[in-house]
Amino acid sequence: MLQELKEMGLSQAMIAREMKTHRQTVNQWFMGNRVPTARSISKMATAMSTLTGKKVVPADVYNLITTVVERIEREKESI
């Protein structure tokens, strides 16, 4: 489970279920293998808002994905 999502009490599987998409799709966004569309980011914000009970806006989702991808890239470089 990604540390950033874990801190929010979420998992990729939970988000995928709420978005009605595949967990692998969500995983690819967070790993930087695919770039989510603006519509997907909006849907993820809605899903995360529903799951956490707190308002999550698309910009927050974009920033979260960017942060995770950058962290993973740094970890790969340090190996």
Residue 16 has pLDDT above 90, yes or no: yes
Which one is the CATH code of 3-77: 1.20.120, 3.40.1340, 1.10.3470, 1.10.260?
Answer: 1.10.260
3-state secondary structure of 63: helix
Phi-psi map region of 41: left, alpha, beta (phi>0 left; psi -120 to 50 alpha): alpha
Give residue 79's pLDDT. Answer: 81
| CB count in 10 Å sphere of residue 5 | 19
Give residue 6's pLDDT. Answer: 94
Q: Within a 13 Å sphere around the CA of 6, how many CA atoms are in the beta-carbon half? A: 4
Instruction: Assign 14 a pLDDT band (cuts: 50, 70, 90).
Output: very high
pLDDT in tens, 17-65: 999 999 999 999 999 999 999 999 999 999 999 999 999 999 999 999 9
Give residue 1's pLDDT. Answer: 72
Quote the pTM value: 0.91
